[in-house]
Amino acid sequence: MAQTSTMNVTFPSDEEILITRTVNAPRHLVYKAWTTPDLVRKWWPGKRGEMTVADMDFRVGGAWRYVMVAHGEFEVAFHGTYREIVPNERIVHTEIMETPDVGPDSEDGAVVNSVTFEEADGGATLVSIRTDANSKEVRDMIAQSGMEGGVREQFEIIEELSANLR
């Protein structure tokens, strides 16, 4: 296996965030970790809390909803809809953070995430997450939210989980 690279965060446009990271595990196993609710429960909260809900109707048009209780004892919930699924290659979905003004069925203000899984040298997988935030203000809010540290933690856990799957 190839040595794992560092995670890179760039801003290709005023409305986009691009996160890339090579995961030291085969593509089909990284994809499995990304798309299996019991595995998502293990990596999605990073090291910042405990996941209480990992609902996934994993099909085009299907909905997902993740809820965690952060160590600070507050609940954080996100949801969205799957727009495109190409097994082991690509997932496109909306994402919205639930707030008192935004319930679990609303798509108002949703960003669109495109996640790709590409084979990399040595049997590793290059994962790219492109977020279209629809505005510079939303992009900057996401970028300044502490998201980068959480995503780093998620990738560390995904790599460990994926390396142990069959």
The pLDDT of residue 5 is 64
CB 111 within 8 A of CB 55: no
The CATH code of the domain at 8-46+86-163 is 3.30.530.20
Residue 133: which of 84, 98, 95 has the closest Cα? 95
Ordered mean pLDDT values, 10 residues apiece, the chain (166 residues):
71 96 95 96 91 94 93 87 97 89 72 96 95 92 88 93 88
User: How do the domains of the chain map onto residue ranges?
Assistant: 8-46+86-163
β-partners of residue 23 are: 125
Q: How far is CA 119 from CA 6, 122, 150, 154, in A?
A: 16, 9, 24, 20
47 CB-near residues (< 8 Å, 6+ apart): 153, 157
